[in-house]
Amino acid sequence: MAALALVGFGWGMGAAPVHGQEFTQTWTLRPGWNAVFLEVAPTDARSVAVFAAIPVESVWTRAERLSSVDFVRDQNEARWNDPGWMVYRPEPYPEAFVTTLHTVQANRPYLIRIGGSQAVTWRVTGRPSLRHPAWVPDAYNLRGFPVDPARLPRFGEFLRSSAAHHRSGTGPMEEVYRLGADGQWRLAGANDTMGAGEAYWVYSRGASRFVAPLEIEVDRGDGLDYDALIEELPVRLRNREASARTVVAAMQGMQGADVLVSWELDTADGSVAWRPFGARRTIEIAPGARASLRLAPRRSAFAGNAYGDVLVASDGVGTRHLIPVSARRRTTEAGGPTHPHVGLWIGSLRVSAVSEAHGADPTLPTPVPSPFAMRVLFHVGTNGQARLLKEAIQMWEDGTYRTVEGGVRVTDEPGRFVWLTRPELVPSFRGVALRDGVLTGRRLSTVGIDFDGGAENSLSLAGAFEVGGTVSGTIVLPPNFPTHPFRHRFHPDHDNLDERFAAFRPEAREVRRRLEFEFTPGDPGGAAIRDYGHDTLGGIFRETLSGLHHRDVRLLGDFRLQRIADTPVLNPTPRQR
């Protein structure tokens, strides 16, 4: 009978992740059988790739929910064609053609038989997951636990908070079998030390949802996946123990300290705000209590278009969870990278100071008793070109379809929202808001800013639309412009007509508005905004007004903008149907 053995389980904590939210797990496997618990989903999950670097004879894992009679005391007695097992046999073994274990998954146990006479080191790099398999009640389950390699717990203390595995927490521990050095599964004692990355046969008396004394939950998926639009997600922690726990949460990578922020209380002044996550966070959890850690990414701090990392949460007494974290910037419809501020921006500017033509210094704006506010609209294209808008209309464009083999109709291009600045394009699209039973577009407009925008009904701005940059442009209002401040069709001195009201004669001067928007590193009002610089921008507004007086009038104020859509292109060409 071949010997089964398990030795030298370690953990590659110091290894650098391959793609941000990846982690490296390391074992030392010796000839014969090894019971391992894999906590990561390999980058290349194919069995042939995962086990290519070690002399594997066979790999086994359970295929479905177990029954009470499926416990195997000697893995050599398991039948390779048993439908309850998935088995991988590499070439050139004759049984290779009947391999049923084609991919390797996270949080699953694997029984690995190593050939040869030398111990081998096996490393697996992949993405962790918080999704664990369900327990089968009143049966032995082959599984592992999120054990902290820096502080290996005893079986009794690790399982005592679950009545399904430790009767009433003080009674006898339910049976746990581990692989011994002589190749047999033997009963583990409550005072025996557990191993990290090790799998066991564990009995569950009745139903169980136990994972560890420290439980971790997230709202969606198996980690913190913010994608491109989600602003914040909580990590919920539960202490199942009868004693308090101090949980330390730290990012595996160095970038996470700057990218993530957490919502927390400042005990010094009692304020609550988003603060940098930093190197680590310490959370105190009372016995049987719960706690929550609200985390959000600062996309403005991304080094590229995507961010990935692993949040490591440990309680210092035996439990450690690996939480994958990922977020990305917006991309174009084609999927490529874009300017970080692409899209439609809306906000308000506030004029708080105006120069006095007859003041001591006619070039210096002086504060006004009551600031004047007005709306502004911008659009930023994929190349970073910023344009000032006076109106934007949101419409809907239906998707297109095509027929594939068999007469099946499938989506070719999905439907999308579009933004228009050219009113003549409105009939080519569908409305998005119901008014008096009719679908119409949703229109945004500005009152204090008007200009001749040409064919695209917009004004191109010079400069960089980004933190630390400045964009500027000039609005020209000719004497006959409809919203010229001195033009009045019912006043003979301001109608731009001669004394017979027939021929054009300019009676109003040309007015020029030189607008400048300087983007500051922080909110102009001093507000603590979570991801200022990504979806929120602000800064200093300046305007030089010529034509109202023989001296220029200068205005000074501030502005704040919010991105409301990531549409890369205005006025798209309607799709052909």
DSSP per-residue string spanning 476-520: EE-TT-TT-TT--TT-TTSSSB-TTS-SB---S--EEEEEEEEEP
Task: Please choose, from the candidates 380, 403, 455, 400, the residue with its C-alpha nearest in 3D space to the C-alpha of residue 425.
Answer: 455
* Rounded Cα gap, residues 364 and 356, in angstroms: 8
pLDDT grade, residue 253 (50/70/90)? Answer: confident
**Average model confidence (pLDDT) across the chain:** 86
Helix ranges restricted to H, 180-262: 256-259
The span from the first CA to the last CA of the chain, in angstroms, equals 71
CATH number of the CATH domain containing 292: 2.60.40.10
pLDDT at 364: 94
pLDDT of 163 over the 80 cut: yes
Q: Clarify whether residues 17 and 40 are in a common domain.
A: yes
Same domain, residue pair 423 and 315: no
Q: Which amino acid is at 531?
A: D
Q: Which of 95-109, 250-264, 377-391, 491-505 has the highest mean pLDDT?
A: 377-391
Question: How many domains does one find in the chain?
Answer: 3
Say what the pLDDT of residue 492 is.
62
Range 454-472 average pLDDT: 96
Range of weakest confidence among 174-183, 360-369, 374-383 = 174-183
pLDDT at 488 over 80: no
Cβ neighbors of 198 (< 8 A, separation 6 or more) are: 6, 9, 35, 36, 37, 144, 147, 178
- Does residue 36 register a pLDDT over 60? yes
Residue 77 has phi, psi (to 5 degrees) of: -85, -10
The winner for highest mean pLDDT among 40-49, 182-191, 302-311, 329-338 is: 40-49
Residues 6+ away with beta carbon under 8 Å from 410: 401, 402, 403, 404
Long-range contacts from 183-187, C-beta under 8 angstroms, 24+ separation: 183/1, 183/2, 183/3, 183/4, 183/5, 183/32, 183/33, 183/74, 184/4, 184/73, 184/74, 185/4, 185/72, 185/73, 185/74, 185/75
Q: pLDDT tens for residues 128-157?
A: 999 999 999 999 999 999 999 999 999 999
Strands 40-42 and 56-62, by their bridges, are unpaired
Return the higher-pLDDT residue of 510 and 142.
142
Q: Which pLDDT value is given to residue 529?
A: 85
3-state DSSP assignment of residue 381: coil
C-alpha dist (Å) from residue 87 to 59, 70, 75, 111, 465:
6, 16, 12, 9, 57
Same domain, 300 and 367: no
* Per-residue pLDDT at 481: 82
pLDDT value of residue 496: 60
Q: pLDDT, tens digit, for every residue of 554-566?
A: 999 999 999 999 8
Residue 197: DSSP 8-state: T
Q: Which of 297, 328, 359 is the last residue of a domain?
A: 328
Question: Residue 173 carries which DSSP code?
Answer: B
Nearest residue to 398 (alpha-carbon basis) of 387, 385, 411: 411
Residues 166 and 23 in one domain: yes
Mean pLDDT value across residues 253-269: 76
> Residue 16: its pLDDT value, please?
33
Q: Which residues, in sequence order, are CB contacts of 319 under 8 Å at separation 6+?
A: 146, 147, 148, 153, 158, 212, 213, 214
For residues 28-34, give the mean pLDDT.
Answer: 91
Residue-range definition of the domain harbouring residue 511: 343-565
Among the residue ranges 179-183, 342-346, 569-573, the one predicted with the least confidence is 179-183
Cis peptide preceding 92, ω within 30 of 0 = yes
Q: Considering the domain boundaries, does residue 571 fall inside one?
A: no
pLDDT tens digits for range 200-233: 999 999 999 999 999 999 998 999 999 888 899 9
pLDDT of residue 258: 78
Same domain, 404 and 311: no
pLDDT band at 272 (very low <50, low <70, confident <90, very high): confident
- Of 153, 161, 276, the closest CA to residue 215 belongs to 161
> How many Cα atoms within 13 Å fall on the side-chain side of residue 286?
1
Q: Is the pLDDT of residue 273 over 90?
A: no
Domain end call among 287, 305, 328: 328
Place of tokens 């501030």: 558
- 334 belongs to a structural domain: no
Average of per-residue pLDDT across 73-81: 53
Q: Tell me: do 97 and 224 sit in the same domain.
A: no
Task: List the strands of the sheet with 280-285, edge to edge.
Answer: 224-227, 320-328, 306-314, 245-251, 280-285
Say whether pLDDT at 9 is over 50. Answer: no
- Per-residue pLDDT tens digits for 321-361: 999 999 988 765 555 557 889 999 999 999 999 999 888 89
| pTM > 0.95 | no
Structure tokens at 85: 């097992």
461 in the same domain as 368: yes
Pairwise CA distance, residues 482 & 450, whole Å: 9
Residue 294 lies in a domain: yes
Quickly list H helices, 244-332: 256-259
Rounded Cα distance, 139 and 70, in Å: 8
In this structure, the answer to whether residues 235 and 277 fall within a common structural domain is yes
Same domain, 520 and 387: yes
Quickly tell me which residue has 């959000």 as its tokens.
Answer: 296
Q: Which two tokens stand for residue 464?
A: 């960089």
Same domain (yes/no): 436, 465: yes
Distance from C-alpha of 209 to C-alpha of 530, rounded to nearest angstrom: 36
* Domain end marker among 328, 362, 394: 328
Task: Please enumerate in sequence order all residues whose Cβ is within 8 A of that of 391, keeping only pairs 6 or more positions apart, or say none.
Answer: 377, 421, 443, 444, 445, 446, 457
Mean pLDDT of 154-172: 87
Identity (one letter) of the amino acid at 267? T
Q: Residue 359 and residue 356: Cα distance in Å, rounded? A: 5
- Give the pLDDT score at 505: 65
For residue 17, name the pLDDT band (cuts at 50, 70, 90). Answer: very low
Q: Percentage of the chain surpassing pLDDT 90?
A: 60
- Asked if the model's pLDDT at residue 283 lies above 80, the reply is yes
pLDDT band at 498, cuts 50/70/90? low
